Structure 1
Amino acid sequence: MAPNGEAYVANPSAPEGFSRFASSRISPAGPHRTIYLAGTACVRPSDGTWPGVKENADGSLVLDVRVQTAAVLENIDSLIKGATGGKGCVQNLIDAVVYIVDMDRDYAGMNEEWNKVFPTRAVAPARATIGVKQLPDPRMLVEVKAVAVVEF
């Protein structure tokens, strides 16, 4: 194990050039393990599909922040479950940073989907939402970086 914990990669068969970072890192020791999740988008690691992204015949994109946000949270859930052997899930998040490309247009839709997964403050992680000029891929409207704690 590396000094900064154990790496978990959602699709270990993907070429190294596709992703040179771990999907998450699990802290080195203790009964409660901290999992640091890299920025996660809506793209499915298993098959490369992009929920919330449709391409028109002319090549223009139609993007849906609600569908993307739901997919991001589902991907985070899968990452935590995979990294913990099913012992944790998205409900184990303690902190999150949401990066969003257009706050005026997309914040409300992102927040509605977020609130479906975390319906009360009592169960929601601490969260910051940051407007950014762009994300690594033009299909991305939202990306979430998060931290979870899971009892092993």
Structure 2
Amino acid sequence: MSQSAPYFRPATHAQGLANYPHARTVTSPDGKGSYIYVSGTSSRRGDGTFVGATRSEDGTITLDIRQQTAAVLSNIDAIIQGASEGKASIHDVVDATVFLTNTKDDYKGMNEEWNRIWPDRNTAPARTTVEVRALPREEILVEIKCTVYYV
């Protein structure tokens, strides 16, 4: 893939700490469709705060996997729609990798939000879920990266 392939990095979304786009679009080899490779996405808002993470006055952070997963999926949908100029949506995801910091406590809640978007396994994307020791910020319980195909 050429580095000159179109990229998408909306100014209103949270920007990564390193230099990478939110998504990169590549035309399929037959020229009939396009792939969108969406970078790992969290629940971080454009202002740097996180959906599903509340910090109390004493510094304790309360985290909610359902709120975070719903926000991640919403953020991904916005990235896909922007990168495709409205021609694709989250329902065009063909493969996803979910990163969780605690599968024991959070797998069920993440799946409940996932299943709201894809209630039928026959139309859901292929998916791998892995537990990681940590994600880039202590406020993050879940991060998802995915691949989209659309015509």
- Structure 2 length-normalised TM: 0.91
- Cα deviation, 1:3-52, whole Å, max 9, x if unaligned, reads 1421111228977x7441110110045231000010000112x3333110
**Corresponding residue for 2:24?**
25
CA RMSD of aligned residues (A): 1.9
Larger mean Cα displacement after TM superposition, 26-35 or 71-80: 26-35
Aligned to 1:38: 39
Alignment of 1:1-152 (within 5 A): 3-4=2-3, 5-11=5-11, 18-28=17-27, 30-44=31-45, 46-151=46-151
Distance 2:134 2:59 in 1: 19
Question: Which letter maps to 2:149?
Answer: V
- What is the Cα deviation at residue 90 of structure 1? 0.4
Q: 1:55 to 1:13 in 2, by over 3 A?
A: closer
Q: Does the 8 Å contact 1:40/1:145 carry over to 2? A: yes
Structure 1: runs of 5 or more not aligned: none
Q: What is the CA deviation profile of residues 29-78 of structure 1, one whole-angstrom value per residue up to 9, with x for unaligned ones? A: 5231000010000112x333311010111011000000000000000000
* Residues 3, 28 of structure 1: 8 Å contact kept: no
